[in-house]
Structure 1
């Protein structure tokens, strides 16, 4: 059992969830784990970051899911001699093992990657989902990526759909639901700093229990 606190953050695209995680990690002086988990998992699997990125938070059954152990460059990793697994499954397993190891090591913030599900057996985990109103998300994506309104809407739909399918395909839970998360924070109402303030207060309360 862990005696330190872990925060997981799921997020709608354009809600500022990743920025919330970054700012919170800086305030608390604890690690933030996000895309670096993919690099760690890719290293363990002996595959490139580019290949790993193509199955990160995307639908189970995407193109790379058809690449099995024993094909081409993917002969470097095998869970057991008699079991063949799609690359997407291997990546998820490796990533999940890394998440558990890092969570056991000390406090931290995990963004995405089904971390709430992976750490479901741990008691000191605060599962959070960050969302925002549609117009605010569109404006944020337009500003960050210098896109037109239509391009921003299309990008939000695509990435949210990929995250939802990835999450629900791995966990059998509804993405962004109150059943899967202890806390839902609306950055349209709270702002980024308000969401960080709330999570900082919750973190300290949990640490002092």
Structure 2
């Protein structure tokens, strides 16, 4: 379903600096000051409408979270969730994932979540996939040694290419599920897409990996 344009979205994002980081480059290496604690920071790249990041923040008050989303018309829905929940440990950034190393220093982020990313199924679009090697290099630049990437999708082709890309990069796979919702994994928090796809009977794939 194509989302309608929201010309007022940019203004709304600017109106809520409590929840939306306005100048992320100025906080590079200083995110503990932003959240006013020493808790680990997890980010979700492609946070969509914000259900996952908001529910994760509720479930893990001892962790800081940032939801990253490029589309303004989408991230304003995540902002609405944050305004309602009013959680101190979650914020949003309206930026491009290509530029993460400009906002975070090495070790600023402890974990990266990638949930139901655009599969970009055509071979010529492979470099746009969020698990492609150029993105993995960006994640490595902001994570500590053995920093983790957690990935979920319902797209088998994307999952297979992600397994190959992550393995080729030299990361260590620590968890792989080809039918995640029928696994014994505890504590899963679903995204909006995940709930919709699973209700249709789509199989959900999940992996966890860390840099070495």
TM-score between both structures, scaled by the size of structure 1: 0.30
TM-score of the two chains, using structure 2 as the length reference: 0.29
Rg larger in structure: 1
The answer to which structure has the higher strand fraction is 2
Which gives a bigger RCO, structure 1 or 2 (Cα 8 Å, sep 6+)?
1
